[in-house]
Amino acid sequence: MTWLESPEALLEGLAGVVRLTLETLSVLCVVAGLVATLPLALPYLPFLGHRGRRPSSTIRISFGSWLSMALEFQLGADIVATTTAPSNRNLIQLATVAVIRTFLNVFLAKELEAERRLEQDHPLRPKP
């Protein structure tokens, strides 16, 4: 039976493509975050001259924002995967994962906001 003959097969195929796309976007967000943040972090790495200075909050804000977006894509992928197999077990698993990812995202957002406030209140000044 092909996807043309069965609406369920069409939905499963479409959900598979959407899930893979969302998971790929999630990984790309982490990679993009690394690429965007690495130049900011290099001066603070011990083997590149770190002298005990506190790293800029900008580093955490930059990478944390990308991680937050990646979590959103992962949650979307989990939701799509459950639409094609909505058993009690899969729904419980989705609920558990959704709660964990939501808590991670909420705490990450709070931490990023605190870092933003810290950065605004106490901007790093270059040492003479």
Residues in Cβ contact with 113 at an 8 Å cutoff, skipping those fewer than 6 apart = none
Do the Cβ atoms of 83 and 17 come closer than 8 Å?
Answer: no
pLDDT of residue 55: 66
pLDDT tens by residue, 5-28? 687 778 888 888 999 999 999 999
- Which amino acid appears at position 8 of this protein? E
Domain chopping of the chain, boundaries? 7-121
pLDDT over 80 at 66, yes or no: yes
pLDDT tens by residue, 68-113? 899 889 988 988 888 777 778 878 888 888 888 888 878 878 887 8
pLDDT of residue 100: 84
pLDDT of residue 127: 44
The reply to whether the predicted model has a pTM over 0.75 is no
For tokens 């369920």, the residue is 8
Distances (CA, A) of 29 to 70, 99, 114: 5, 21, 22
Do the Cβ atoms of 122 and 88 come closer than 8 Å?
Answer: no
